[in-house]
Chains A and B, each alone.
With several copies, the nearest count.
Chain A
């Protein structure tokens, strides 16, 4: 559609759940002695994301995200920390991949998998904002890859 402004209206993009996560961020901060950490940024707006995970017995025992960004990126990070916590690393990667496909319009969102992050569904229609939503999620993917590489090398 051309020149219609926000397609489904503001409420479609900014669902209440999103604004709620934005105003009350869960899982914010850093982890002392994290198993792996990454720092990513969105070249479009300069937004940054620090992501730390603590891995215990192959599970994400703790996960925290820090950095500034727009409501979408902050809410996405907040939702991620909730839904990824306690997942096995493989499960977490599947989760990220599912979310990525949803954001690119290549999969229907599954609430059982995504939890609150299902509310981000409307973002898929806004290509520029997709990067915001994905920033922390792809950071988790990179973080797990880093972790696996380090532990593989370490022994």
Chain B
């Protein structure tokens, strides 16, 4: 597979590498998996890399002098190298966690519990995933700090004027999502980070929905913290990443305590290992890091720019297709330059659960619910939406199957 950004990505050919997508359903039809914002499918080579690790060199890392343990450590740390390279970030400031949620909580607890005081403010946007909202609420509850929500415009974008009005001298942390999992909106995170830094606040960018889908340069974004998750980027469950400013990580006291993260332990107290290990207590997700490393190499061979280019095309097809469905309302931006390929929508007279169930009978997998963005949905005046989300393996076939199933669905429930 070439890496030229001139050739478009061939999604149909890529599907052959994903066993779940390559296997037809029992009724012979294709699987139209449109729930990649929840989790992505995995290419066979990622499964093979983990399998090979367990079969050839499974051993605990970092402490073993025997060859197999050294080899395990090497494969594990090579996973870190790959992830760091993908987002252009120093490897020593690239911490493995169990998922994006833990990465954000790490900062909320390790930094927030120790540093926040009554009167301090944490600013989040109304479109944050619960993972970038609830940790701040919890830590605010412990410390007496306040969480403030920046509104979202009717067009589904962060209200930048409102944000400018909220970020000020009391602001200690600004936490925003790079790409919304519900609306698909791409937020101007560089601008927001600069605004926060000017006010002397730290920044957390939730890049869970951007890193899998487009080139993300953590250094260029310049946030203090940036979080993402393995299972949405062709990698396994059980692993996430916190890419932090190295100096910030050095200065921070540790979060989880245990093996691996110490330099010395005495009955009087302990001292800490170098970063990134200082923040990786206990046996890390070893096979998972190996698998994620392979997932990154897979993405690199295709090229993040080409993935983004493909998804723009898919997003435009989705917009066109969904527009053909009577009674359907799309939430979020309509300009594919300003959005990813996640689409939340409502269908007049049919509840999202029923949409999800009906579509499943046609082999189309979409999500129905609040997508872990309840404050956003409440602010939009809806309880739940259906959501179709694409990835590098999404084809026009999938989009057409979605459209046709939605039209049928509406008729079936008598809403037409």
B39 at the interface (CB under 8 A from A): no
Using a CB–CB cutoff of 8 Å, the interface residues on chain A facing chain B are 1-7, 9-10, 13, 19, 22-23, 41, 43-48, 68-74, 126-129, 132
Q: Are A72 and B412 in contact (CB under 8 A)?
A: no
Chain A proximity of B195: nearest CB distance (Å):
32
A-side contacts of B384, CB under 8 Å: 45-47
Q: Are B26 and A6 in contact (CB under 8 A)?
A: no
* Per-position binary interface string of chain B over residues 52-68, scored 1 when its CB falls under 8 Å from any chain A CB and 0 otherwise: 00001100001111111
Chain A proximity of B280: nearest CB distance (Å):
14
B62, B65, B354, B374: the one contacting A46 at CB < 8 Å is: B374
Stretch in contact with the other chain, from B120-128, B225-233, B359-367? B359-367
Q: Which of A2, A10, A74, A129 neighbours the largest number of chain B CB atoms within 10 Å of its CB?
A: A2
B-side contacts of A41, CB under 8 Å: 264
B357 at the interface (CB under 8 A from A): yes
Q: Are B353 and A3 in contact (CB under 8 A)?
A: no
Q: Are B25 and A13 in contact (CB under 8 A)?
A: no
B219 at the interface (CB under 8 A from A): no
Interface size for B (C-beta < 8 A) is 43
- Known contacts A47-B351, A126-B65; 9 additional CB pairs below 8 A are A3-B68, A4-B26, A5-B67, A19-B413, A46-B383, A47-B384, A48-B383, A128-B69, A129-B65
B-side contacts of A3, CB under 8 Å: 23, 25-26, 31, 56-57, 67-68, 71
A4, A9, A22, A45: the one contacting B383 at CB < 8 Å is: A45
Instruction: Tell me the bound Cα distance from A71 to B347 in angstroms.
Output: 13
Closest B residue to A68 using CB positions = B383
A-side contacts of B74, CB under 8 Å: 127
Instruction: Tell me the bound Cα distance from A13 to B357 in angstroms.
Output: 10
Closest A residue to B56 using CB positions = A2
Closest B residue to A128 using CB positions = B65
Chain B proximity of A104: nearest CB distance (Å):
13
Chain A proximity of B375: nearest CB distance (Å):
12
Q: Are A70 and B412 in contact (CB under 8 A)?
A: no
> What are 5 A-B residue pairs whose CB atoms fall within 8 Å in the complex?
A5-B25, A10-B358, A46-B369, A71-B354, A127-B73
A6, A19, A48: the one contacting B360 at CB < 8 Å is: A6
Assuming A46-B374, A47-B384, is B353 touching A10 (CB within 8 A)?
A: no
B-side contacts of A132, CB under 8 Å: 353
B309 at the interface (CB under 8 A from A): no
Q: Are A129 and B71 in contact (CB under 8 A)?
A: no
Q: Are B25 and A43 in contact (CB under 8 A)?
A: no
Q: Are B361 and A5 in contact (CB under 8 A)?
A: yes
Chain A proximity of B55: nearest CB distance (Å):
10
Q: Are A4 and B27 in contact (CB under 8 A)?
A: yes
Instruction: Tell me the bound Cα distance from A132 to B62 in angstroms.
Output: 14
A-side contacts of B361, CB under 8 Å: 5-6, 9-10
